[in-house]
């Protein structure tokens, strides 16, 4: 199967377009809603879906995604649910790029080589593991290349220049830049250092640089994508799913407002 992420990144570069990635917690509020959301976001124009596997001990997730993960865990959501869901969507003809977001513990418990095969067979385009540094990920990179999958690494504001350059070189598809120190969660403003740091990272690589953690308003989306190649939005979307039946509509409407802000002419 073609890697939809790589294709979408090439298309965006050719058009000079910015990329919108939506994070969803698998199984929150339930698996059927996750499926409906992916379809709705794809229809609304999202470029990438980051499907987060619920984990009990997340290192990078703030209160909103921790809550969503806890609710999904109570419903016994498993990694195989992610594979089944994406396989089903691909059979329906869905072409949007989809990445699995998970921590190292669940993926190693499942078996990394087994997981890579399942990612490929079910139609995922790659994997993001926030607690997998390139030093430890190196042993698996050839496997990802073999199965035409991307392994995306993260750069933090505290990453020194030399290491950030190495991470950017090794990251496959795009570079995930963490906008702030701390965990995920909506923020009222962006870090004063973000734009300056982004300019530095952009000089290190020709790969797209997408910004995640804390992006939660059209104004922020607009400001960030004047420099970055796209944004990754999670908590602000997941938070809206607490609104019962209106949650999907609210989440998609919010995502659409961010995408519109990114495309708006000066």
Name the residues annotated as catalytic: 50, 61
Non-local (6+) Cβ contacts of 34 within 8 A are 24, 25, 26, 27, 28, 51, 85
Alpha-carbon distances, residue 169 vs 9, 71, 94, 155, 173 (angstroms) = 16, 37, 30, 11, 10
Task: Please say whether the beta carbons of 222 and 264 come within 8 A.
Answer: yes
Task: Please say whether the beta carbons of 149 and 124 come within 8 A.
Answer: yes
Give the β-pairing of 154-155 and 97-101.
Answer: unpaired
Q: Provide the terminal-to-terminal Cα distance of the chain, rounded to the nearest Å.
A: 39
Alpha-carbon distances, residue 238 vs 8, 52, 57, 78, 241 (angstroms) = 24, 11, 18, 19, 5
The helix (H) or strand (E) run that includes residue 69 is helix 63-74
Count the alpha carbons within 13 Å of 123 in the hemisphere toward its beta carbon: 18
């Amino acid at each position: 199967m073609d890697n939809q992420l790589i294709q979408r990144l090439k298309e965006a570069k050719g058009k000079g377009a910015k990329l919108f990635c939506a994070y969803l917690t698998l199984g929150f509020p339930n698996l059927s809603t996750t499926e409906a959301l992916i379809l709705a976001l794809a229809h609304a124009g999202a470029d990438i879906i980051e499907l987060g596997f619920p984990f009990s001990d997340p290192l990078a997730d703030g209160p909103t995604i921790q809550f969503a993960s806890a609710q999904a865990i109570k419903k016994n959501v498993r990694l195989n649910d992610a594979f089944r869901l994406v396989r089903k969507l691909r059979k329906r003809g869905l072409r949007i790029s989809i990445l699995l977001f998970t921590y190292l513990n669940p993926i190693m418990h499942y078996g990394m080589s087994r997981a890579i095969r399942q990612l490929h067979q079910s139609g995922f385009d790659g994997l993001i593991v926030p607690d997998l540094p390139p030093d430890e990920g190196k042993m698996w990179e050839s496997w990802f290349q073999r199965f035409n999958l991307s392994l995306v690494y993260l750069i933090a504001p505290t990453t020194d220049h030399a290491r950030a350059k190495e991470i950017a070189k090794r990251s496959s598809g795009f570079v995930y830049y963490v906008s702030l120190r701390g965990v995920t969660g909506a923020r009222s403003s962006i870090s004063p250092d973000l734009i300056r740091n982004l300019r530095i990272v952009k000089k290190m690589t020709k790969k797209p640089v997408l910004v995640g953690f804390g992006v939660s308003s059209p104004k922020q989306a607009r400001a960030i994508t004047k420099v970055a190649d796209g944004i990754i939005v999670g908590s602000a979307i997941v938070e809206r799913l607490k609104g019962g039946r209106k949650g999907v509509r609210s989440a998609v409407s919010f995502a659409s407002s961010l995408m519109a802000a990114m495309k708006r002419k000066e």
